[in-house]
Chains A and B, each alone.
Chain A
Amino acid sequence: MLGALTKDLGVAVRTIRFKLNGEPVSAEVPPHWNLVELLQNRFGLTGARESCGQGLCGCCTVLVDGAAVSGCLYLALLVDGAEVMTIEHQAAGGGLDAVQKAFIEAGAFQCGFCTPGFVLMTRQLLDENPDPTEDDIRHYLSGNLCRCGAYPEIIEAVKLAARMRKAER
C-alpha cells in the first residue's frame, strides 16, 4: 500500500533490510512512516498500536536492538539493519512465555489494547532486574497506561512472572 502521496510527490521510497522477529526481511518505506505503520502496512503485524501518538501510553511499544521504543515516534527507516522484535515474536517452543502466562494467571488486563506494551516492558524489566520490588515495578512501568485500570493485577503479574522465570532457570 504505497500511498499516492509518496508516488506523486516523488518522495523517495527507500528499501530497508532488517531482522523482524528473528527473520531477515526487507521493505520499501516512505521516509515519513513510523515503525507502527511499517509493521502494520508491510507485515500485517498489529500488536503494536498507535494510541496517544505522543509516546506517552506505551501501546506502540516495539523492541529495536533489544531496547523498547515508542513505535509511533520511531521513524521506520531507522530500523534499517536493526533487529526488531514485536509482541508477535513467539518463544522457541511456539507458546506463551512466562510473562504472558503470568498476565493471564493474574488477570492483568481487560480490553487488552495496552497489553502487548506492558508484556514487552515487563520482559525488559525482568531481563534487567529479575527480582524487582513493587516500587521498581511501578517506576519501570509508569510509561505504560491502562485505562481499564488493571494496575493492581499487572503488578501481581510482574511479581508472578519473576517467580516463574526463576523457577524455569
Chain B
Amino acid sequence: MSKPAATRRRNPGPSWGYGFLRALDFLLPEFLYKPIRGIGTLVAMAFMPAQRRHSREYLALALNRRPSTRDVFRHFFAFEESLMTKLRVLNGRPHKTVYAPGADDARQWMETGGPAFLGTFHVGDSDLQGFLIGDELHARVHNKIHIVRERVGNSHDTEKLAEKFGGRIAFIWVNDPREMIYAMKDAALTDNAIALQCDRCEHSARTAEFDFLGAKRRFPITIYILAAIFRRPVILTFGVPQAPGLAALHSPPRFDPIPGEPRAATLARGQKHFQDFLRQLENILREKPYIWFNFLPWNSKPSA
C-alpha cells in the first residue's frame, strides 16, 4: 500500500529535532543531558498552550486536585522521556520488558502467535512496546504486526522505528479510510496481528462512553467490532516504565468473540471487557499519573 500524504504535523518541533536529541544522547553524559532535556521541555510547554490546558484537565482528574505548574511540567517531561526511550532503542540501547501480574493471556499469545487484534494506548512505553512485541513475535513464530497509525508530518521516531523493525512491522495508514479498509481486510486474512490504538476517537467510526477517572470519556470500540467481523481475539496491552530500559507489560484477560453470538451481545461483552480494562488502567494512572500521553481534549470529537 502506498504511503498517504501526511495531513498534519504532530508537534511543533523542528524536523531535525529528533536527530539532534539522538546525537546529544551519544555526546553528553546523562547528568548534563537530563537538565538540558528539562529546559527543552519547559520551552516546548511554553509554546503549547492547548496541550497545557488539556494536561491540566486530565491531571485534575488523575490527581483529584488542582494540578500545579510543576505537575504539568512532570507530565510533559514524562512524555519527553518516553520519546527518549524510543530514540535510545534506535541508538541501539537494549530495552527489556517484563510481564505484570495478570498478563498471562498476553504472555501465552506471545509464545504461540496467531491472529489477534492488539489494543494499545498512548500510555508510558506502549508505543515502543508495539515494536518490541512485533520483533519478539517475529523471532518466535515469524508472524508480523500490522500497526494502524495516522501518518503525520514530522513522525521521525515512527519512521526510524519502522526502518529498524522493517519486515517484522507493517503500517496500515488511516489517513485514507478507503485504502485502510482493504489493508485491514488483507491483514485480517493472515495469521498476523493487527494493532490499533484504542484511546483516541479520531479516525474511529464507532465510540462509546465509559467511566474513567471519575468522569465519562468516549473511547473507540472499533476493535470489538473488528473482532466480531473477523472472529479474532482482542488483547489489550500497555507498557509502564519501571527503570531506564525496563518496562512492565500490563494486559487483562483476552476477549474472544463466540461463534454464532449475536453482534449486539458481542459488543456488549466487548464494552464490559473494555470497562474492566479501564479500571485496571485507572489504578495504574492513580499511582503514575504522568504517563498518560493524550494531550487532547478529554473527549475528542469522533470522526468517520
Q: Do A and B bind each other?
A: no
Interface, chain B (partner A; CB < 8 A):
none
